[in-house]
Amino acid sequence: MNLHRNLAGFVAVLATSAAMAQAPRAQGPAIGFVIDARTNRIHPVIGVPGAAVVGAAVDTPSEATARAVSPTGAYVLAWSDTDRLPALWLPSSGAHPLEGLMPGADRVALSPEGTAAAFYYATENRMVVVSGLPDHPSSPAEINQVPLAVAPGTWAVSDDGELLMCASSAGQTGAVVVLGTTGERNRLTLSGPVTALAFAPRTHDALAASGTDVVLIRDAGRPTGWIPLPATGVGPVSAIAGSVEAGKVMLASAESGKVAVLSLDWSQPPALLDCHCKPEGFFQMNEGAVYRLSGYAGGTVHILDITAAPRILALPPAVEPDKEP
């Protein structure tokens, strides 16, 4: 089949993204990639926070569809359109199939730094986790039983791939099931339907939200403490993330468009920002303290920069949508 050859060709294009960043129109290095929701093509985000744009799409193979971008920009996860087998595009070493995975995964979630991925197969209602991404992918570890009566509405996987949290769709129950490859490890109960879940990078500490109730759970597999977090002014929390280096937790509400940045040592008051968009989540970019908030469909992309005082920036497309090749 032509998938491997096409993927390799695409990787060569990705490898030139650094060269693109040196061109006069690039105005700086590429700080990440974004998938066009209309076409599933990959666009580089070029420049630096405060002076960045969404660049023109790179050429993509016709027989593969981009599904997720590693938070550190190390790889792009794609599905073959012919057999729906996942593969990795690595700019440095070409295309790599993920050995041992069954075709037809319906959804995927990446860990905070992209070193693990959890694949969900709706027909069997099961999860498969691959860790060690991108350089040393592990054999798929199957979670044989997802103990939910319905498909999980939200889930999160830890960076080491050892823990998986999943919860029923909103409107169901407030239970969060913590799973390991050997089965259920723990069951957490929130005040109401679970609206957001996330692991903190490189730890088993977890973040969970039920509407406006938010909690930081130390070691979700065997909890050693629960810390309530204020979500005043944000509205119902639909996305959550943590930054170990910055010592911060970020909350967002798709309903209100508000974003809050909390300091875990309480040295600073919470920062409440208006995205002027509908935040889809916190998608880390190459810069560790920069997160994409909104998706791309030919228009403006919003990012959150917490390098210093938190700020939300609007990135315009470098190419007018109707002139996109």
Percent above pLDDT 70 for the chain:
81
Range 300-311 average pLDDT = 94
- pLDDT of 9 > 50? The answer is no
Q: Give me the mean pLDDT over the 241-245 stretch.
A: 83
Q: How many CA atoms lie within 13 A of 97 on its CB side?
A: 13
Which amino acid appears at position 123 of this protein?
A: T
Identify the band that residue 7 occupies on the pLDDT scale cut at 50, 70 and 90.
very low
Supply the pLDDT for residue 147.
54
Task: Report strand pairing: 141-143 vs 126-131.
Answer: antiparallel
pTM tops 0.95: no
Of the candidates 16, 95, 121, 46, which has an alpha carbon nearest to the alpha carbon of residue 316? Answer: 46
Rounded mean pLDDT of the chain?
82
What the block records as the tokens of 229 is 């977090």
Q: What is the pLDDT of residue 134?
A: 92
pLDDT of residue 65: 81
Most confident of 10-14, 61-65, 181-185: 181-185
Give the model's confidence band at 72: pLDDT under 50 very low, under 70 low, under 90 confident, else very high.
confident
Instruction: Report whether pLDDT(44) > 70.
Output: yes
In this structure, are residues 304 and 288 in contact, taking their beta carbons and an 8 Å threshold?
no
Round to whole Å and give the CA distance between 81 and 182.
32
- What contacts 308, CB < 8 A, 6 or more positions away? none
Query: Within 13 A of 20's CA, how many CA atoms are on the CB side?
Result: 22
Position 17 scores a pLDDT of: 35
Residue 27's pLDDT band (cuts 50, 70, 90): very low
pLDDT higher than 60, residue 112: yes
Question: Which residues lie across from 248 on neighbouring strands?
Answer: 243, 263
Does the bond joining 316 to the residue before it have cis omega, within 30 degrees of 0?
A: no
What was the pLDDT predicted at 320? 56
Residues 163-177 pLDDT 10s:
999 887 645 568 888
Q: Which residues, 6 or more positions from 232, have their beta carbon under 8 angstroms from its beta carbon?
A: 270
User: Comparing C-alpha atoms, which of 46, 63, 67, 51 is closest to residue 9?
Assistant: 63
Domains of the chain: 98-198 (2.40.10)
